[in-house]
Amino acid sequence: MSLYLIGDLQGCDAALQALLEKISFSPSRDTLYVLGDLVNRGPASDAVLRRLMGHGAAARCLLGNHDLHLLATARGARKPGRKDTLQCVLDAPDRHAMLEWLRHQNMALRERWGGQDLLMVHAGVLPGWDLEQTLRLAREVEAALRSDQVDDFFATMYGNGPDAWDDALQGPERLRVIVNALTRMRLCTPDGHMEFAFSGKAEAAPKGYLPWFEVPGRRTAGVTVAFGHWSTLGWLDRNDVLSLDTGCVWGGCLSALRITPRTSGWDSALIQVQCAQAQKPGD
């Protein structure tokens, strides 16, 4: 049995197929953990969704900002963007099945191998959240997505404020902060105020902001956090963070990190395939 963490797919089904062939993936034996942004910008979002759906419980997927955008667009809460490549899903005869499968995926996942926790999110974790709080808050958004009031959720999901967490937040503002942290954040201030315009390299962060994982004293520092979303950051392999968006849709690589559990912790190996896309870099 092998376990694989896979970075942002963004509709690049050919690269996903090549990667699965390279790792000799078997859904009866192996498990994929896909870190969000399954769709958009690439040419074959529908094929990506069908492929992952076909792997059943062997594909455990997170929702990224592009995935939520697809769901919101499909329900009329958002108009398609100029750069979107989602029409193949919206026009598909099996549209309903794909969208229902997608809205039942996760906002955060936790696994424990060899006595060590791994927290998986699409974008980031606010510095004041610990592992358990992050998972609880992710479950709140998942419940909203799966409820009969999902249209109300999408109608109020968008916006940059509030830009920081407060335990007293309620209703749409509470859910919006959770969504923005888990699916959009790259930078924040030391006291947890998020910034959403920046998408460049970490060393070029605007004054007063840090990559969320560099904030001193963040409460998930003792947990390994795996994430995607930040293609200009690229592959980052540290004891506390694993960054796996290596810019497949922008002409980079699609990456999988093979996890081999040990008695204490785990071993890992990076496997990559080149993607043939030639999009302009961006979010």
d(CA 207, CA 24): 45
20-39 pLDDT tens trace: 999 999 999 999 999 999 99
193-244 pLDDT tens trace: 999 999 999 999 999 999 999 999 999 999 999 999 999 999 999 999 999 9
- The model scores a pTM over 0.95: yes
63-98 pLDDT tens trace: 999 999 999 999 999 999 999 999 999 999 999 999
What is the CA angle 266-268-274, rounded to 5?
A: 160
The count of C-alpha atoms lying within 13 angstroms of the C-alpha of 283, restricted to the half-sphere facing its C-beta, is 19
For the record, the structure tokens of 56 come out as 């059943």
Q: Is the pLDDT of residue 282 over 60?
A: no
d(CA 124, CA 212): 7
| Full set of structural domains in the chain with CATH | 3-274 (3.60.21.10)
Give the burial string for 230-243 (b: 16+ CB within 10 Å, else e): bbbbbbbeeeebbb
> pLDDT > 90: what percent of the chain?
94
